[in-house]
Amino acid sequence: MEVWQRCVCYEGKRIKRMMKSSQITDEFRKKTFDNFDTAGKPEQIRLAKECAASYYLRFREIRKDRNNSFALVGQVGSGKTHLLCAISNALLADGVQVLYFPFVEGMNNLKANFEELEEKTDRIKKAEVLFVDDLFKGRDIPTGWQIETMFSIINYRYLNHLPILVTSEKDFNTLLEIDEALGSRIYEMSKNNRFVLKGKTMNHRLS
Protein backbone atom coordinates (compact mmCIF):
# COMPACT_ATOMS: atom_id res chain seq x y z
CA MET A 1 0.00 0.00 0.00
CA GLU A 2 1.36 3.39 -1.00
CA VAL A 3 1.13 6.17 1.59
CA TRP A 4 1.41 9.76 0.42
CA GLN A 5 2.80 12.29 2.85
CA ARG A 6 3.36 16.00 2.37
CA CYS A 7 6.95 17.20 2.43
CA VAL A 8 7.85 18.87 5.73
CA CYS A 9 8.67 22.02 3.80
CA TYR A 10 5.11 22.26 2.40
CA GLU A 11 3.75 24.44 5.22
CA GLY A 12 6.72 26.78 5.04
CA LYS A 13 6.24 27.25 1.31
CA ARG A 14 2.50 27.79 1.78
CA ILE A 15 3.13 30.52 4.35
CA LYS A 16 5.67 32.18 2.05
CA ARG A 17 3.07 32.20 -0.74
CA MET A 18 0.52 33.75 1.63
CA MET A 19 3.04 36.37 2.73
CA LYS A 20 3.62 37.31 -0.90
CA SER A 21 -0.07 37.43 -1.81
CA SER A 22 -1.00 39.38 1.33
CA GLN A 23 0.01 42.69 -0.35
CA ILE A 24 1.84 43.63 2.87
CA THR A 25 5.02 45.47 1.92
CA ASP A 26 8.48 44.28 2.94
CA GLU A 27 8.75 47.27 5.28
CA PHE A 28 5.45 46.45 6.98
CA ARG A 29 6.46 42.80 7.41
CA LYS A 30 9.11 44.03 9.83
CA LYS A 31 6.48 45.45 12.19
CA THR A 32 5.92 43.13 15.14
CA PHE A 33 4.72 43.31 18.72
CA ASP A 34 8.33 42.95 19.89
CA ASN A 35 9.52 46.07 18.09
CA PHE A 36 6.50 48.22 19.00
CA ASP A 37 8.15 50.36 21.67
CA THR A 38 5.92 51.76 24.42
CA ALA A 39 8.74 53.17 26.59
CA GLY A 40 8.01 56.78 27.50
CA LYS A 41 4.73 56.71 25.54
CA PRO A 42 1.29 57.60 26.95
CA GLU A 43 -0.58 54.85 28.82
CA GLN A 44 -3.13 54.60 26.00
CA ILE A 45 -0.39 53.38 23.66
CA ARG A 46 0.56 50.56 26.04
CA LEU A 47 -3.10 49.59 26.48
CA ALA A 48 -3.64 49.59 22.70
CA LYS A 49 -0.71 47.19 22.31
CA GLU A 50 -2.12 44.92 25.01
CA CYS A 51 -5.53 44.96 23.32
CA ALA A 52 -4.00 44.06 19.93
CA ALA A 53 -1.85 41.27 21.42
CA SER A 54 -4.85 39.86 23.31
CA TYR A 55 -6.88 39.80 20.10
CA TYR A 56 -4.16 37.83 18.32
CA LEU A 57 -3.92 35.31 21.15
CA ARG A 58 -7.70 34.80 21.14
CA PHE A 59 -8.12 34.83 17.36
CA ARG A 60 -8.61 31.09 16.80
CA GLU A 61 -11.30 30.81 19.45
CA ILE A 62 -13.29 33.85 18.26
CA ARG A 63 -12.71 33.77 14.50
CA LYS A 64 -16.17 32.31 13.73
CA ASP A 65 -18.00 34.63 16.12
CA ARG A 66 -19.92 37.76 15.16
CA ASN A 67 -17.41 39.82 17.18
CA ASN A 68 -14.29 38.38 15.53
CA SER A 69 -12.73 41.61 14.24
CA PHE A 70 -10.38 44.31 15.53
CA ALA A 71 -10.59 48.09 15.07
CA LEU A 72 -8.02 50.66 16.12
CA VAL A 73 -9.09 54.22 15.37
CA GLY A 74 -8.17 57.79 16.18
CA GLN A 75 -5.00 59.86 16.41
CA VAL A 76 -2.61 60.09 13.48
CA GLY A 77 0.90 58.77 14.18
CA SER A 78 -0.09 56.69 17.20
CA GLY A 79 1.09 53.35 15.79
CA LYS A 80 -2.25 52.00 14.59
CA THR A 81 -0.84 50.55 11.37
CA HIS A 82 2.16 49.05 13.19
CA LEU A 83 -0.06 47.19 15.67
CA LEU A 84 -2.39 45.80 13.01
CA CYS A 85 0.62 44.82 10.90
CA ALA A 86 1.89 42.99 13.99
CA ILE A 87 -1.41 41.08 14.22
CA SER A 88 -1.37 40.37 10.48
CA ASN A 89 2.24 39.18 10.43
CA ALA A 90 1.64 36.91 13.42
CA LEU A 91 -1.47 35.42 11.80
CA LEU A 92 0.38 34.86 8.51
CA ALA A 93 3.16 33.08 10.40
CA ASP A 94 0.44 30.83 11.86
CA GLY A 95 -0.80 29.96 8.37
CA VAL A 96 -3.82 32.30 8.35
CA GLN A 97 -4.38 34.17 5.08
CA VAL A 98 -4.44 37.97 5.46
CA LEU A 99 -5.10 40.46 2.64
CA TYR A 100 -3.81 44.01 3.15
CA PHE A 101 -6.01 46.77 1.69
CA PRO A 102 -4.60 50.30 2.16
CA PHE A 103 -7.72 52.40 1.60
CA VAL A 104 -6.42 55.16 -0.69
CA GLU A 105 -4.20 52.96 -2.87
CA GLY A 106 -6.71 50.11 -2.78
CA MET A 107 -9.62 52.23 -3.96
CA ASN A 108 -7.50 53.75 -6.72
CA ASN A 109 -6.55 50.24 -7.83
CA LEU A 110 -10.20 49.15 -7.92
CA LYS A 111 -11.19 52.23 -9.91
CA ALA A 112 -8.32 51.88 -12.39
CA ASN A 113 -10.03 49.14 -14.39
CA PHE A 114 -13.77 48.68 -13.96
CA GLU A 115 -13.66 45.54 -16.11
CA GLU A 116 -11.71 43.86 -13.30
CA LEU A 117 -13.68 45.49 -10.48
CA GLU A 118 -15.93 42.52 -9.70
CA GLU A 119 -13.03 40.04 -9.66
CA LYS A 120 -10.87 42.27 -7.44
CA THR A 121 -13.73 43.08 -5.08
CA ASP A 122 -14.65 39.42 -4.82
CA ARG A 123 -11.12 38.57 -3.68
CA ILE A 124 -11.28 41.28 -1.02
CA LYS A 125 -14.69 40.12 0.19
CA LYS A 126 -13.64 36.49 0.55
CA ALA A 127 -10.14 36.82 2.03
CA GLU A 128 -9.71 34.79 5.20
CA VAL A 129 -8.79 37.97 7.10
CA LEU A 130 -9.03 41.46 5.58
CA PHE A 131 -6.83 44.30 6.87
CA VAL A 132 -8.27 47.70 5.85
CA ASP A 133 -5.70 50.39 6.63
CA ASP A 134 -6.68 54.09 6.96
CA LEU A 135 -10.36 53.63 6.16
CA PHE A 136 -11.80 56.79 4.53
CA LYS A 137 -8.42 58.53 4.58
CA GLY A 138 -8.05 61.73 2.59
CA ARG A 139 -11.53 63.24 2.62
CA ASP A 140 -13.83 64.71 5.23
CA ILE A 141 -16.70 63.19 3.29
CA PRO A 142 -15.88 60.10 1.16
CA THR A 143 -17.45 59.80 -2.28
CA GLY A 144 -20.65 57.86 -2.75
CA TRP A 145 -18.74 55.25 -4.76
CA GLN A 146 -16.19 54.76 -1.98
CA ILE A 147 -18.94 54.31 0.62
CA GLU A 148 -20.93 51.96 -1.59
CA THR A 149 -17.89 49.84 -2.42
CA MET A 150 -16.74 49.57 1.19
CA PHE A 151 -20.25 48.76 2.36
CA SER A 152 -20.45 45.95 -0.16
CA ILE A 153 -17.17 44.49 1.14
CA ILE A 154 -17.90 44.96 4.84
CA ASN A 155 -21.48 43.72 4.57
CA TYR A 156 -20.40 40.51 2.80
CA ARG A 157 -17.88 39.84 5.54
CA TYR A 158 -20.40 40.75 8.23
CA LEU A 159 -22.96 38.28 6.88
CA ASN A 160 -20.36 35.53 6.50
CA HIS A 161 -18.55 36.09 9.83
CA LEU A 162 -15.25 36.87 8.09
CA PRO A 163 -12.84 38.91 10.28
CA ILE A 164 -11.68 42.42 9.43
CA LEU A 165 -8.81 44.42 10.89
CA VAL A 166 -9.45 48.17 10.57
CA THR A 167 -7.45 51.32 11.22
CA SER A 168 -8.90 54.77 10.65
CA GLU A 169 -8.27 58.36 11.66
CA LYS A 170 -12.07 58.66 11.93
CA ASP A 171 -13.52 57.72 15.31
CA PHE A 172 -16.64 55.58 15.52
CA ASN A 173 -19.00 58.56 15.77
CA THR A 174 -17.57 59.94 12.53
CA LEU A 175 -17.78 56.54 10.80
CA LEU A 176 -21.45 56.34 11.83
CA GLU A 177 -22.04 59.84 10.44
CA ILE A 178 -20.42 58.88 7.13
CA ASP A 179 -22.61 55.80 6.79
CA GLU A 180 -24.51 54.37 9.74
CA ALA A 181 -25.05 50.95 8.15
CA LEU A 182 -21.33 50.52 7.44
CA GLY A 183 -20.11 52.08 10.70
CA SER A 184 -22.48 50.05 12.87
CA ARG A 185 -21.34 46.81 11.24
CA ILE A 186 -17.70 47.58 11.99
CA TYR A 187 -18.68 48.59 15.53
CA GLU A 188 -20.54 45.34 16.13
CA MET A 189 -17.90 43.15 14.47
CA SER A 190 -15.17 44.64 16.68
CA LYS A 191 -17.15 44.51 19.93
CA ASN A 192 -14.69 43.77 22.78
CA ASN A 193 -11.83 44.16 20.26
CA ARG A 194 -11.64 47.89 19.56
CA PHE A 195 -9.60 50.78 20.84
CA VAL A 196 -9.77 54.56 20.35
CA LEU A 197 -6.64 56.73 20.62
CA LYS A 198 -7.16 60.43 21.26
CA GLY A 199 -4.83 63.40 21.62
CA LYS A 200 -1.79 64.76 19.79
CA THR A 201 0.47 63.42 22.55
CA MET A 202 -0.14 60.03 20.92
CA ASN A 203 1.57 61.17 17.70
CA HIS A 204 5.11 59.75 17.90
CA ARG A 205 6.09 61.79 14.84
CA LEU A 206 5.82 64.98 16.90
CA SER A 207 8.04 63.77 19.73
139-171 per-position pLDDT tens digit: 778 999 999 999 999 999 999 999 999 999 999
Burial of 10 by CB count in 10 Å (0-12 exposed, 13-18 middle, 19+ buried)?
Answer: exposed
Residue 69 has pLDDT above 90, yes or no: yes
Contact 65, 189 (CB under 8 A): no
Q: What pTM value is reported for the model? A: 0.88
CA 23, 24, 25, 27: dihedral to nearest 10 degrees?
180
115, amino acid identity: E
The secondary element (H helix, E strand) that includes residue 128 is none
Delineate the domains of the chain, giving CATH numbers in brackets.
23-206 (3.40.50.300)
* pLDDT winner (highest mean) among 1-15, 29-43, 89-103, 150-164: 150-164
